[in-house]
Amino acid sequence: MRLTLFFSILFFFSHPVLSAPLNVEVVDLIPGQVLPVTQVSESADVLIDGKLTESVWNELPVYDEFVIVMPDTLERGVYATHVRLFYTTRGFYVGYELEQPRDTLLERLSGRDLRRINRDSVHVTLDTSGQGRYGYTFGIGLGDSLMDGTVLPERQFSSDWDGPWHGRSSETESGWSAEFFIPWSTVAMPAGGETRLMGLYLSRKVAHLDERWGWPALPNSKPRFMSGLQKIELREVTPGQQYNIYPFSAITVDEIDDETRYKVGADFFWRPSSNFQLNATVNPDFGSVESDDVVINLTATETFFPEKRLFFQEGQEIFVASPRADTRGGGVGMRGPPTTLVNTRRIGGKPRSPDLAPGVTVSDRELIRPVDLYGAAKFTGQIGRFRYGLLGAFEQSVKFNAMQNGNEINLIEEGSDYGVARLLYEDNEGGAYRAVGVLSTAVLNPQEDAKTHGVDWHYLTPTGKLKVDGQAFMSDVDNVDRGYGGFVDFEYNIRQGVNQRLGIEYLDEHVDIHHLGFLSRNDRISVRSAHTRIQSNLGWARDNQFDVRGFVSQNGDGLFNGGGIMFAEKLTFNSLSSINGRVGFNAGHYDDINSLGNGVFRVEEKISFSLGYSSDTSQSFSYDLELGFDEEDLGGASYTAGLALAWRPTGRFNLSLKVNYQDRDGWLLHQEDANFTTFEAEQWQPQVSVEYFVSARQQFRVSLQWVGVKAREDEFFLVPTHPGDLIEIGKPPGPADDFAISEMVIQARYRWELAPLSDLFVVYTRAADVTRSLDDANFQRLFRDAFDEPIGNQLVVKLRYRFGS
């Protein structure tokens, strides 16, 4: 009896009550028509449950202007998509009624802002500036997983903003439905009069077809987006003051240091008017954020890690000074790391290394632990055509546990203070977008002060065919080392689906923005180009994407330090499976950074290629396979193989497994001074994650990432005194250069969203970074060592709750 009752309850909660369809009379729009949105009084009581059962929905005009934008056929979709809109003085409401056979619906729950999952979903984009200058995106997946973010001209999307809005979905007799409520107090907008214009874009993902439908018709293969949104007209929208306080408490149990730490703090949000807001945090705790990917980087070029801390994600769009600050790119070719003066991962990151007296040692663990903050504050706003932003953050002092002659001692290192100031002027008279901005940063520390100043400019023609973005900047470290740099990027849309980009960059040898920004290297003059083509409706295939990219570069001494060309192709079949291939050639050039200041040497020309296959991601089981080949710097070959599996038997459970293997012959690594060694090496990199959702608001996730490397010395080289080929030498005296590395992160997370932006987190993290000699080393031992000798092992419990208007 109890078992029968249990399964009856389980069946009830996993099979939603179906909503009945609404009356439908679709209104046809005239192209270019400004759409007046219906205003409803506050007495209209709408429960956001995704069901559209309130009478107000039946009294509204119905629109169905959707066409297929991915692939970019611009044809009508096979199912009806009915949309209703209205607003009150409190906010904006959107109701979707989505026709679709119920046996094709694809519900896949996820954490917030995971957009790459193929699932049924709907989205709303609002240009609250009304002039294509900035906007917000909101999305609901079937099953109530939420997505939101910001967008800048013309198509710079970011998921780094989370707002207190409401969205729900529900299955219906004819498909499914969704409701949005976006409070006006959630979004920024300029001061306005009685009548206000905004831009609107609506889209729908039909997962079993792997198609996206949109209104207006703005596919990625066309240059316009923000300037091409559907204009809507609203009256008497004057958001009032809003404030929110997010107090939190956190408990951290550190098993390595055998201590328990308690922390209490708060985040604050205040918007006294629609065009100004203040965000602040006091005594913040970031122990509940998701762990970074495990990466082994033995080069002189830094790895970029994206920001994952909520405070620094929100409201950052004003500090994005160019598209190069965005790590995402169009096409199927690869794109390099960003160039930006503001990389907030520097704030509260690794501490500055202390000056050590003879005989004093500090463990690697102490040198990589993040720095705590006293607090941070951010001001953003708009006055007419000017937008502005100010950011300040203040680090606490760092206490290092050190050893001296076998005795424990403490070393104190002062933290840094950070400041960012931004001013942007925008104008779109005559249909063209023009903007110019200034951006300044400062990092103040007793050891040194570092400042940067930049000017950026942007232009988009009225047709959207030509886009120009550029930035010039200078850096100043302690008023001694001053450097200058800049770039300009041109993008021209030849026709739908055919795009050409050209970038020119100059960086002198002294420019240094790494204290608060990110730059892969300085001392370079380079030109880079990218040509992309997208063709749909091939008949025998769904679409084809082709991409060719190239670059040439030299340093300030006139030495050619890089150049190559890469072709990439992705063909998607009508079955929704796809194949992709890449072929690249890099010319022989001079390497002037990996010797760490010990000279310049020449590396050989290299070719590379890869071939991959991806199955239909709408199926409960999908997979990716990839094989690759690369030549090493001095000859020799590197072979790679990758496998990714995803299993989603239900919308609430997800198991994913990724394994990458690399076999290298001739891996060139710097050792010390002017010495280099080549290695024969193997590398394994498995990654496993398991997710289960009690609902879209409660998530369990366990993930494991591990990288194991075994490398045996092969040949030995010396950097020449003048630029040229490396000089082969015999083995230098001393122990072998053989090494083995094991890096691992295990994280178990439970998150319960109690209310919008109110959460309970329980996070357990175990991290290891082990380096071993190769004596009797094997991958099984490397993996075991990562378990037995962690550098981090902690449990964090954090509760944050939102109070306010």
Closest CA to 168 of 49, 16, 301, 303: 49
Q: Summarize the chain as % helix, strand, coil (round to 5).
A: 10, 55, 40
Distance CA 754, CA 759 (A): 6
Amino acid found at 615? S
Tokens of 113: 């802002």
Range 691-696, long-range pairs (CB < 8 A, 24+ positions): 691/110, 691/653, 691/654, 691/655, 692/652, 692/653, 692/654, 693/109, 693/110, 693/651, 693/652, 693/653, 694/652, 695/109, 695/144, 696/109, 696/141, 696/143, 696/144, 696/145, 696/146
Specify the pLDDT at position 12: 39
Distance CA 269, CA 164 (A): 11
Band (pLDDT 50/70/90 cuts) for residue 73 is very high
Instruction: Give the residue-averaged pLDDT of 14-41.
Output: 73
Task: Identify which has the larger pLDDT, 627 or 799.
Answer: 627
Q: Is the predicted pLDDT of residue 757 greater than 80, yes or no? A: no
189-203 tens-digit pLDDT: 887 778 899 999 999
Q: Is the predicted pLDDT of residue 537 greater than 80, yes or no? A: yes
Specify the pLDDT at position 8: 44
Band (pLDDT 50/70/90 cuts) for residue 588 is very high
Specify the pLDDT at position 65: 93
Q: What are phi and psi of 222, to 5 degrees?
A: -105, 150
Tokens of 495: 């026709």
Report the mean per-residue pLDDT for the chain.
88
Closest CA to 509 of 525, 522, 526: 522
Band (pLDDT 50/70/90 cuts) for residue 781 is low
Band (pLDDT 50/70/90 cuts) for residue 403 is confident
339-369 tens-digit pLDDT: 999 999 899 888 888 888 888 888 777 777 8
Q: Is the predicted pLDDT of residue 161 greater than 70, yes or no? A: yes
222-231 tens-digit pLDDT: 888 998 999 9
Specify the pLDDT at position 259: 82
Specify the pLDDT at position 398: 87
Terminal Cα-to-Cα distance of the chain (whole angstroms) = 48
Q: Is the predicted pLDDT of residue 6 greater than 60, yes or no? A: no
414-453 tens-digit pLDDT: 999 999 999 999 998 878 899 999 999 999 999 899 999 9
> Which of 223-232, 281-290, 372-381, 652-661 comes out lowest in average pLDDT?
281-290
Specify the pLDDT at position 244: 83
Instruction: Give the residue-averaged pLDDT of 533-544.
Output: 90
Contact between 218 and 201 under an 8 Å Cβ cutoff? The reply is yes
Q: Is the predicted pLDDT of residue 402 greater than 70, yes or no? A: yes
Specify the pLDDT at position 778: 67
137-151 tens-digit pLDDT: 999 999 999 999 999
Residues facing residue 456 across a β-bridge: 437, 471
- How big is the chain by its Cα radius of gyration, in Å? 28
Transcribe 19-56 into DSSP letters: BPPPP--BPPPPTT--EEPEE--TT-----SS---SHH
Specify the pLDDT at position 576: 94
Amino acid found at 423? L
Specify the pLDDT at position 511: 96
